[in-house]
Amino acid sequence: MGVYERQTHAGPIVTTQPGNWNDPFTWQFQQVPGATDAVLIRLRRVALPLSYTGNVQQVQYDASEQLVFLEGAQIKFN
């Protein structure tokens, strides 16, 4: 797979460790979610960094999980 190719998959991209939204190692497939992806935050705390904008189709998370928005961060749903 080339540097600029996105892996295609069925279902949501799931967290694999706590971390920043824009860190590929936070996510399954080591790929930051994009505008056409659904995400599932499971067993993790995920933070959107300062002034960062995430673009996704859908976000799901369990009640015990955390999605933290640092100052100026946002998610846009496509």
Q: Is the pLDDT of residue 9 over 90?
A: no
On whether residue 27 sits in a domain, the answer given is: yes
On whether residue 7 sits in a domain, the answer given is: no
Residue 1's pLDDT band (cuts 50, 70, 90): low
Q: Is the pLDDT of residue 2 over 70?
A: no
pLDDT in tens, 18-37: 999 999 999 999 999 999 99
Q: Is the pLDDT of residue 49 over 90?
A: yes
On whether residue 2 sits in a domain, the answer given is: no
Q: Which of 24, 20, 40 is nearest to 32 (CA)?
A: 24
Domain count along the chain: 1
- The domain of 27 spans 13-77
Q: What is the mean pLDDT of residues 50-57?
A: 98
